[in-house]
Structure 1
Amino acid sequence: MLQLTQIHHIAIIASDYQRSKAFYCDVLGFSLLGEYYREARDSWKGDLALNGQYTIELFSFPTPPARVSHPEACGLRHLAFTVADVEIAVQALAEKGVTCEPIRIDDLTGKQCTFFADPDGLPLELYQA
């Protein structure tokens, strides 16, 4: 039987590597563990951590194709991050120029949540702990 233990990382391809690295590090608070240029692919790879835990591989490629990224599109729906207080997190994002959807209440859990997007339109969620 397959015994998965946890998610190792999430891979994201950015259209503008430097802009996305700044967004994930400077706006969302990830730290850059390592950064590598792969000359054969003309591609950057950044290893990003959240609270010291390796979480995201951020890639660049010269001409990546566009992807449908609306939350209801088939495929990965969104990435969700836990926060202690959604309202405070929304205000912190607003101070950095990031617009969130109106805060809503999850019908099943009664918890607050909201959605926003990364620089390439990847849907991201804040979810109350």
Structure 2
Amino acid sequence: MLAKMNIGAIVFYVSDIDRTEAFYRETLGLDLNRMPGEPGESGGADWLMAGMANGVSLIFFQMPGKQGDSPVPVFELAEGGIEAIVEGLASKGVTIVPPVSHAPDGGLTADFADPDGHTLSMYQAPDKPR
């Protein structure tokens, strides 16, 4: 089901977005973009994105998390259809946490767990069919 998809992003949950921005920008030299959060989603908090080689993005959200929650690989759904894919995974007994919801940029996202409880995620751009 996900075999022909690319990893579009790797998501990190961080405790302090300003400290994270300073470290990745000043210490590691990454070109970070500070993005405004969507009202109502994650409290509308800003988040960070750094484009890397081969189209993979590093994304940083300020939110509570326990060790092992992060990073989260994100499969990019170039063709859309996130709801059908989530339904297909659920029908195979995959734990979906949370269901399809809005991403900070207005797209759609859904997380699911592997058998060891590792979080994996899917992302669909705002202009793709549900």
Instruction: Compute the TM-score of the two structures, normalised by the length of structure 2.
Output: 0.42
Instruction: Compute the TM-score of the two structures, normalised by the length of structure 1.
Output: 0.42
Relative CO higher for 1 or 2, CA cutoff 8 Å, sep ≥ 6?
2
Greater Rg, structure 1 or structure 2? Answer: 1
